[in-house]
Structure 1
């Protein structure tokens, strides 16, 4: 596996730990439906958070929370809808982005709730 893939997996693991420490229950990781993949599906009360994790090393100039294009958003919405129906859930669905930025030996984690709307 490439170094960037390993770094991405590390970022997802840090995001899971962050969510758990914030009181979320992790429902699924790397949930796939057709061509879509959801990094993390987490629940807190009646809110189901569909979480896209973006991991980068310090010095990346682009705001990584804005790197989710319209095609990716449509795929996330489709997969989230399928998950909710498959699990027969009655929840509020929210789309979040967690950014994990490596700064030397440490990591900065930001959780952007309601990163985008699907309607």
Structure 2
């Protein structure tokens, strides 16, 4: 198991706790479809939210959320379409990013970017 995988798992757990504290109900973790994975699926106020979690320990290559490119967004949206079909969801949906930056002192900077794919 690589440190990157451990950091990613830790980030997803941290993001799930962060969202739960904000009143989100976590429905699924690591939902996989043929070509993509959605880190977290949550619900709040009759909305289904698909969440990509990006965790980094430094900013040498940019902020964590900058690693979600157009191709990654398309793959997430494709997987979300399948999930919506599978559960027969008929309400609104949204795509968010949780960006977690682990600072040198061990603290974290967590950013919740709502409706991230519509920008």
What's 1:78 paired with? Answer: 78
Matched, 1:114 2:80: no
Matched, 1:49 2:52: no
Displacement of 1:66 = 2.5
What's 2:10 paired with? Answer: 10
CA deviation vs aligned residue, 1:46-96 (integer Å, no higher than 9, x gap): 111110000001343413222212221111111101111100111211110
Mapped partners of 1:88, 1:26: distance in 2: 18
Runs (5+) with no aligned partner, structure 1: none
Higher strand share: 1
Give the TM-score normalised by the residue count of structure 2.
0.92
Displacement of 1:106 = 1.4
Give the TM-score normalised by the residue count of structure 1.
0.92
Please, which moves more after superposition, 40-49 or 52-61?
52-61
**Residues paired across the two proteins, number:** 118
